[in-house]
Amino acid sequence: MAAHRCVSSALLVFVCVLSVFTVARSQETTPPGGHGAPATDGPQTVTETTGQTAGQPAAEERRWEATEVKEATPDESAAEEQEAPAADTAAPSAGPRPKDDFQEELVIRPLHSGDIYASFQFRTLWETDFTRENKVSHYRLFPKSLGQVISKFSVRELHISFTQGYWRTMQWGQPYQPSPPGAELWVWFQDSVTDVDETWKELTNVLSGIFCASLNFIDSTNTVQPSASFKPLGIVNVTDHRFLRYATLPREIVCTENLTPWKKLLPCGSKAGLAVLMKSEKLFHSSFHSQAVHIRPVSPTSWELRQTLNVVFDLHTSGQGKREWSLFKMFSRTLTEACPLASSSKIYVDVTDNPQGEQFELSPATPLLSQEVVLGDRRTFSVYDLTQQITFGTVRSLNLLIRWKSSEGDMLRPLLHGERYVAGYGLQTGEIHTLMYNYHPYRSFPVLLLDSVPWYLRLYIHTLTVTSKGKDNKPSYIHYQPSKDRLRPHLLEMLVQLPPNSVTEVTVQFERALLKWTEYTPDPNHGFYVGSSVISSLVPSIVAMDTNITQERPLFSSFFPCKEESSYFVRVYTEPLLVNLPTPDFSMPYNVICLTCTVVAVGYGSLYNLLTRSFQIEEPSPGLAKRLANIIRRMRGVPPL
């Protein structure tokens, strides 16, 4: 009887506990359900129901996750991203849901010299709030290392590129993203930064750790603050050039140790998608290799991270004289799948010069064709969509093959080209010549030339001349900041109008400085590098450019924002210069010390001895008998013999 009562009381207690638990559970499930409803619109009723059914496991997950993670498929996330502007205005109290988006593209452009130009573009969109600073951020597709760098150093825009080789504009045309040889870094800071130089120094050190490059050599002797070039590429409401810093390291080497951390920033790494093609043994065996990271805000609530890799493969060094390119020949890999985290994964092949297939043959054939306006011209592209399984065919792998049939046809000459060289002889003085070519037959356009020369080349600005077609061409804007020895480099910015079909030559004389012996590099006879000049210009375009920024465009055509239809923005980099400074012979100090010490010891020492030595006459030592006699005489107190 008592046992029965015990059992019943235990049962009662158990039922009470269970009811408490269920009540608590239901309380926890209502908030996610409540968040789900106002944030999603009509077509997302599916997600709403899944949200509610996933409420119970979500409630437990909320114990150690600050933000809700929706297990959305890539299509859904893209759909959510498009609905985002509408949804945000409708429900500002929506929970902080990360709506990251990742797109990848590969553009292949066959060049007229037989080489081939491949450009990888990866874009990650990160939805975050600018005002949110100290809260726990949830990183899904955007790499955490870069996100922390942006928030810690109050960076608004960051552009960094590592390049090996020089882009030959006359043979290859214009690149989709230009970059100078070596490393280049330019950063726009937020208005809230108080000491820009200090933040710049810390930022370069942190980036040198992330990218395994010696960016810590960027200091005040190679940093400049341009006053008109390098306007921000992202959205902005006011531009104050006090928050801009630009530096370049022309000597920086690019190798696998820079590619490895770059690949690790991608959401799929190098395991899936287009990034499997990035094998360093093939990428660095090329005429030109450039990898870059661009971070900029594209809307008040989202950041864009673009990672681009441009590579030009040489026909002759890759073996086989046949003029034929395939993915396997270029990258020693073929593609088997798209990155599962990507909302779009496409390959574009430029077939503008091949409308009927008479110049080269592209296989496997693809029905998708698209026309894009890029670099002032309307180009036709064959598109391979890697998110469709049909692209891979029956063999489950995609190996594009481009086989040439005829080698006629010439390239459209690029409208703007720049060159630079050092003239003069000897190790005392010299002259820097910068040439800018305008190949347009009847239109002239303005260019902004930015020159940053290190302090050990002392420029004589009174000898600066700008001539076009033999006549003097006065620039409409000149900004010159003289250098300070060991503190600041020279900065020269000029806005020059280039007359049509002409060559404009900018010359300035300089004198070489003598460095202190500790300032020489371990290999000073190699020479000292002067960074490339930057020529920014609005070049008239052949077709009307698309100024609609909200339209969906492929990544390679939407890098520079377009404000007007008749011209497009282009940036051309000249060659870096290599100048020899008067270099001492570093093997000499040891020899000089030995020689000097010997000369001093022998020459001066003997002279000193001659002058200061006193000579005394010494008696020869007497015989034994005399010595004994002397001893006895000494004892007696009598002077010796």
Residue 32 CB, nearest approach to another protein (Å)? 12
Residue 252 CB, nearest approach to another protein (Å)? 8
Instruction: Give the total residue count for the chain.
Output: 641
Residue 476 CB, nearest approach to another protein (Å)? 5
Instruction: Give whichever of 152 and 634 is closer to another protein, judged by the CB atom.
Output: 152
Distance CA 84, CA 110 (A): 38
Instruction: Give whichever of 117 and 153 is closer to another protein, judged by the CB atom.
Output: 153
Amino acid at 150: I
3-state SS, 448-494, equals EEEEEECCCEEEEEEEEEEEECCEECCCCEEEEECCECCCECEEEEE
Enclosing H/E stretch for 171: helix 169-172
Distance CA 166, CA 106 (A): 21
Residue 337 CB, nearest approach to another protein (Å)? 20
Using CA atoms, how far residue 600 sits from 603, 604, 611, in Å, is 5, 5, 16
486: which 2 tokens? Answer: 């060991």
Residue 94 CB, nearest approach to another protein (Å)? 8
List the beta bridge partners of residue 302.
Answer: 127, 299
Instruction: Give whichever of 282 and 512 is closer to another protein, judged by the CB atom.
Output: 282
For 62-88, b/e burial (b = at least 16 CB within 10 A) is eeeeeebebebebebbbbbbebbeebe
Q: Cβ neighbours of residue 447 under 8 Å, at least 6 residues apart?
A: 416, 436, 495, 496, 497, 498, 535, 536, 537
349: which 2 tokens? Answer: 């092949």
Residue 222 CB, nearest approach to another protein (Å)? 14
Neighbours of 302 (CB within 10 A): 19
Residue 279 CB, nearest approach to another protein (Å)? 7
Cβ 290 vs Cβ 179: under 8 Å: yes
Look up residue 497 and give its DSSP letter.
Answer: E
Cβ 83 vs Cβ 109: under 8 Å: no
Residue 260 CB, nearest approach to another protein (Å)? 6
Residue 518 CB, nearest approach to another protein (Å)? 10
Instruction: Give whichever of 373 and 402 is closer to another protein, judged by the CB atom.
Output: 373
List the beta bridge partners of residue 159.
Answer: 186, 294
Residue 285 CB, nearest approach to another protein (Å)? 5
Neighbours of 512 (CB within 10 A): 19
Instruction: Give whichever of 270 and 630 is closer to another protein, judged by the CB atom.
Output: 270
Residue 358 CB, nearest approach to another protein (Å)? 35
Using left for φ > 0, alpha for ψ between -120 and 50, and beta otherwise, residue 261 falls in alpha
Cβ 473 vs Cβ 496: under 8 Å: yes
Residue 12 CB, nearest approach to another protein (Å)? 27
Using CA atoms, how far residue 62 sits from 35, 39, 66, in Å, is 14, 18, 7
Instruction: Give whichever of 562 and 629 is closer to another protein, judged by the CB atom.
Output: 562
Instruction: Give whichever of 349 and 534 is closer to another protein, judged by the CB atom.
Output: 534
Instruction: Give whichever of 253 and 461 is closer to another protein, judged by the CB atom.
Output: 253
Residue 178 CB, nearest approach to another protein (Å)? 13
Instruction: Give whichever of 135 and 633 is closer to another protein, judged by the CB atom.
Output: 135
Residue 339 CB, nearest approach to another protein (Å)? 19
Residue 27 CB, nearest approach to another protein (Å)? 13
Q: Determine the 3-state secondary structure of 242 from DSSP.
A: helix
DSSP line for 320-389: -SS-EEEHHHHHS--B----TT-SEEEEEEE-TT-TTSSSEEEES--S-EEEEEETTEEEEEEEEETTSG
Residue 342 CB, nearest approach to another protein (Å)? 22
Name the phi and psi angles at 292, rounded to 5.
Answer: -145, 155
User: HSE-up of 618 (CA within 13 Å, CB side)?
Assistant: 4
Across the beta sheet with 477-481, what order do the strands follow? Answer: 477-481, 490-498, 445-453, 534-540, 567-573
Based on the number of CB atoms within 10 Å of its own CB, is 508 exposed (0-12), middle (13-18) or buried (19 or more)?
Answer: buried
Instruction: Give whichever of 47 and 537 is closer to another protein, judged by the CB atom.
Output: 537
Instruction: Give whichever of 283 and 386 is closer to another protein, judged by the CB atom.
Output: 283
Q: In whole angstroms, what separates CA 303 from the centre of its chain?
A: 17
What is the DSSP pairing of strand 344-350 with strand 490-498? unpaired
Instruction: Give whichever of 396 and 563 is closer to another protein, judged by the CB atom.
Output: 563
Instruction: Give whichever of 43 and 589 is closer to another protein, judged by the CB atom.
Output: 589
Distance CA 101, CA 82 (A): 11
Instruction: Give whichever of 162 and 384 is closer to another protein, judged by the CB atom.
Output: 162
